[in-house]
């Protein structure tokens, strides 16, 4: 996972919750598969003689993105554009069956009107962004932390949070905790998310489950970093933080 940018670090340090809710733009873990799909499509179309001599891959890709979703490039695309773009490039690569699957994996994911594939992907992305920033802060060197922001107040806040993580007996919260939360919420103790955590989250959890997982993760990370728990009524605890009431079985939290 890449470290947060200076801007994202500063915003995170100032306590902004906006960045962890529904970030609209696609991230690296969505853009990279699209670039790979586009390269395959470009090579296939070039072999068919459908691309004029001298047209570069980057120019062709931007033209295809505009044709498919009306945006000026992948960096301008949002989460909702991912499946249409993937399907578009798969069609151009001659992968019709896979393209069909990409096109149908949109809209409602279940009978619940609000449970859409697009919202699931947004929430999955938000969960991994929150986790990525926390892990970066835990693992970043003192030198790199000092160069991550020019704002003294932000640096001091980040330094205190980093110290809290390192002082905790369990260290940073990592990917395994997200997997554990998913298993708790879905009541599937053997569930795996695969190598692509974002895709696994979006495929295996509903919008309601992902929302609770995101909020629980935010709260747990805030506590691990010594920050105030702003996201929860302090008189209540999420069911994800205690044994499963339906089964009355205490499951140890490994984190």
What is the chain's mean pLDDT, rounded? 78
pLDDT of residue 86: 87
The encoded tokens of residue 31 equal 């853009």
**Percent residues over pLDDT 70 in the chain:** 75
pTM of the model: 0.55
Say if residue 125's pLDDT is above 50.
Answer: yes
**Percent residues over pLDDT 90 in the chain:** 39
Say if residue 91's pLDDT is above 60.
Answer: yes
Say if residue 36's pLDDT is above 60.
Answer: yes
Beta bridge partner(s), residue 152: none
Say if residue 90's pLDDT is above 60.
Answer: yes
Domain residue extents for the chain? 6-22+116-241, 28-104
């Amino acid at each position: 996972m890449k470290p947060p940018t200076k801007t994202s670090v500063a915003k995170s340090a100032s306590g902004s919750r906006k960045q962890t809710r529904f970030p609209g733009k696609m991230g690296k873990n969505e853009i990279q598969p699209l670039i790979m799909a586009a390269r395959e499509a470009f090579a296939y179309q070039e072999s068919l003689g459908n691309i004029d001599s001298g047209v570069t891959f980057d120019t062709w890709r931007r033209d295809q993105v505009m044709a498919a979703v009306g945006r000026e490039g992948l960096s301008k695309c949002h989460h909702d554009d991912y499946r249409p773009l993937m399907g578009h490039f798969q069609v151009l690569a001659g992968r019709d069956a896979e393209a069909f699957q990409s096109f149908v994996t949109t809209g409602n994911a279940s009978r619940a009107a609000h449970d859409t594939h697009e919202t699931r992907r947004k929430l999955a992305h938000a969960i991994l962004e929150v986790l990525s920033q926390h892990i970066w802060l835990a693992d970043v060197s003192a030198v790199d932390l000092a160069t991550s922001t020019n704002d003294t107040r932000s640096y001091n806040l980040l330094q205190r949070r980093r110290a809290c993580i390192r002082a905790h007996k369990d260290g940073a919260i990592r990917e395994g905790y997200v997997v554990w939360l998913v298993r708790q919420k879905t009541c599937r103790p053997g569930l795996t998310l695969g190598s692509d955590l974002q895709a696994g989250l979006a495929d295996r959890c509903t919008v309601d489950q992902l929302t609770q997982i995101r909020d629980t993760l935010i709260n747990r990370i805030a506590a691990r970093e010594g920050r105030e728990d702003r996201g929860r009524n302090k008189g209540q605890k999420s069911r994800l933080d205690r044994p499963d009431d339906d089964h009355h079985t205490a499951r140890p939290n490994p984190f």
